Each structure stands twice: as structure tokens, then as C-alpha cells.
Amino acid sequence: SEGSAPIAFEIFKQVGTLGNPFVFLMAGVVTDYTEIGLIWTNIGKRTAIWLPLITVPQVMIIAYLFNQFL
């Protein structure tokens, strides 16, 4: 959310890489209980279970790449 941006900027100032604030900002998005619940109800439980199983590793890999190359 917009309220997390100043915290993410402070994380960036402390560590100097983009991966850590990226994980901080994306963690709320990929583990949003409300969104997972809506997917569970409207699409199906298998899809709802796959959402965090796919997105969490993606966020971690992208953050690692940000830390290594940016």
C-alpha cells in the first residue's frame, strides 16, 4: 500500500539494494488473505493454494537478482 512506501525507502537507505524493499512491498501483495479467499471462493481451492506457491518464490528470485545486478 501507499503507506508502506516510506518504510521501503528507509529499508533501501539502510541496505543500499533494491531486493530487500522489493520483498517488503511484495510480501503483502502475494500473501493477501482476502485475495486468496476470493480466489478460493470464485475460482477454486487449487488455484488459491497455487497462488502463494508460485508468487513467493518468484518474488524471492527477483529480489535476489535485484540485489546482485542493480
Model confidence over 42-55: pLDDT tens digits?
Answer: 999 999 999 999 99
Taking the domains of the chain in order of start, what are their residue ranges? Answer: 2-69
Dihedral sign, Cα of residue 29, residue 33, residue 36, residue 38: negative
Q: Residue 67, class by beta-carbon neighbours within 10 Å (0-12 exposed, 13-18 middle, 19+ buried)?
A: middle
Q: What is the pLDDT averaged over residues 53-64?
A: 97
Is the per-residue pLDDT at 1 higher than 70?
no
